[in-house]
Amino acid sequence: MSEGDKALRVAVLGCGSVGSQVVRLLTEQSADLAARAGARLELAGVAVRRLDAKREVEVPEHLLTTDAMDLVTRDDVDLVVEVIGGIEPARGLILAALENGASVVSANKALLAEDGATLFEAADKSARDLYYEAAVAGAIPILRPLRESLTGDKVTRVLGIVNGTTNFILDKMHTSGAGFAEALEEAQELGYAEADPTADVEGFDAAAKAAILASLAFHTRVTAGDVHREGIAEVSAADVASAREMRSVVKLLAICELRDGAVSARVHPAMIPDTHPLASVREAYNAVFVESEAAGQLMFYGPGAGGAPTASAVLGDLVTAARNLLSGSRGAGESAYAALDVLPMGETVTRYHVGIDVQDRAGVLATVAAAFAEHGVSIQTVRQEGRGDDAQLVVVSHRATDAQLSATVEHLRNMDIVREVTSVMRVEGEND
């Protein structure tokens, strides 16, 4: 067999937004892909749920099947791309593919974040690759840089805007002053949010990605269940306006930190200063900001979703997996040697921005300050605005544990002179 005749056979599971673009690129770029992989990448079959659905790509009829399990266990399949999504049947199919000696590329953040360990174990057992660059931040190469480029360095923190829907909504609120409901509606009209926006808006999608990022950055196992999660449904136009006044923006962040040898992984809205590189990430774009001891501050920016961008990431993995198969080698598998504890949210160290409606009378500032002090929280700045009978205080704290800060807020809510705690938001991205 001459060099030019070498071929590897690829099964694609799922032919929706991502799968159809994977199939398209496999066909349209086949000559370049062959030159880069060292062998032709031939489409062995495409598994779908409905044979007769309309697709964005033409798939030869004889390649379509509804029996995905049959496809991945065929003798002539070398590489499997899983772009079905969800836990089952995706997990069973990936395990069967690995057992059958295929290397696997997946875009499935939900599965990787819930049960990556089972998949990595199966990949190790079969000495095959399991790549999943597309699972976090779509087209942006972030997992490979974390796993390979920064592997000689010590990553200390990852801050990510990893959900395009919520970034679009928050950006709208910031630029137009709209409230959450209005911005969500616009996002839905434009196709940036789904009819049921729960997975995005409540932070489930971002939490899965935070788990994957934390695992790779700190060489440990973090699952979606380990990630503290707060969505953006409670973010008000007033919060966003208040951030603006502080020359900040509100972003939904996936935050992964090393702290005293333990990991903090969390997703919540936070204010970040306008000068932070993440602040200028607009619309549905994603970006991941990485801090490490030697490299310092890095940022990776690009489209976080969409069929073609996500397919780009899938194909990058596919070519690497193909090269490894041809040379009889494997890429770096799971690296979880550090086995770190996950910090409960209460022990996480953050800063709070608190808006308080208080009675406008002498000594009110001192009383409020005393409440912060009682919980061991020191105050960085207070801004006071009198408004007739009431006054509005805006307090930004120094760093303290989340438990201390939430106890302080609870305390404020029970004080006579406090009419209402109007806004509570964490502050990130500043040196302290």
Greatest C-alpha distance within the chain:
90
- Picking from 150, 207, 161, the residue whose alpha carbon sits closest to that of residue 428 is 161
Q: Between 332 and 361, how does the x/- string for binding to ligand NAP read (CB under 6 A)?
A: ------------------------------
Using CB under 8 A, count the residues that bind a second copy. 58
Smallest gap from Cβ 321 to ligand NAP, in A, equals 17
Report the residue number, 216 or 265, with the smaller CB distance to a second copy: 216
DSSP state of 277: G
The only residue of 42, 73, 300, 357 in contact with a second copy, by rule CB under 8 A: 300
Smallest gap from Cβ 49 to ligand NAP, in A, equals 4
Q: Between 221 and 260, how does the x/- string for binding to a second copy read (CB under 8 A)?
A: ----------------------------------------
**Binds 378: which of ligand NAP, a second copy, none (CB < 5-8 Å by kind):** none
- Picking from 250, 228, 240, the residue whose alpha carbon sits closest to that of residue 342 is 228
Ordered alpha helix ranges (H), 289-396 = 307-327, 364-374
Q: Does 364 bind a second copy (CB under 8 A)?
A: no
Total length of the chain: 432
Contact status, residue 320 vs residue 131, Cβ threshold 8 Å: yes
Q: Could you tell me how far CA 129 lies from the centroid of its own chain? A: 22
Helices and strands of the chain, counted as H and E runs:
14, 18
- Calculate the alpha carbon distances from 329 to 38, 124, 207 in Å: 14, 12, 32
Residues 6+ apart with CB under 8 A from 207: 113, 224, 227, 229, 254, 267
Report the residue number, 164 or 429, with the smaller CB distance to ligand NAP: 164
Q: Could you tell me the sign of the dihedral formed by the alpha carbons of 374, 375, 377, 379, in that order?
A: negative
> Which residue(s) pair with 252 in the sheet?
269
Q: Between 116 and 135, how does the x/- string for binding to a second copy read (CB under 8 A)?
A: -----------------x--
Q: Between 286 and 325, how does the x/- string for binding to ligand NAP read (CB under 6 A)?
A: -------------------xx---x---------------
Give the CB-side neighbour count of residue 72, counting CA atoms within 13 A. Answer: 29
Contact status, residue 263 vs residue 256, Cβ threshold 8 Å: yes
Q: Has 209 been annotated as catalytic? A: yes
Q: Does 18 bind ligand NAP (CB under 6 A)?
A: yes
- Calculate the alpha carbon distances from 195 to 84, 165, 221 in Å: 19, 12, 33
Rounded CA separation 377/399 (Å) = 8
The span of 107-115, 156-164, 224-232, 326-334 binding a second copy (CB under 8 A) equals 326-334
The only residue of 299, 365, 369, 415 in contact with a second copy, by rule CB under 8 A: 299
**Binds 18: which of a second copy, ligand NAP, none (CB < 5-8 Å by kind):** ligand NAP
Q: Which of residues 302-321 bind a second copy (CB under 8 A)?
A: 302-303, 306, 308-309, 311-320
Q: Does 218 bind a second copy (CB under 8 A)?
A: no
Rounded CA separation 312/170 (Å) = 27
Smallest gap from Cβ 318 to a second copy, in A, equals 6
Residue 260 has φ and ψ, to the nearest 5°, of 50, 45
Catalytic residues: 209
- Contacts to ligand NAP by CB under 6 A: 13-19, 47-50, 53, 68, 83-85, 89, 107-109, 134, 138, 305-306, 310
Summarize as ranges the residues that interact with a second copy (CB under 8 A). 21, 25, 29, 32-33, 35-36, 133, 139-141, 144-145, 148-154, 219, 277, 280, 292-303, 306, 308-309, 311-320, 323-324, 327-330, 332, 335, 337-338
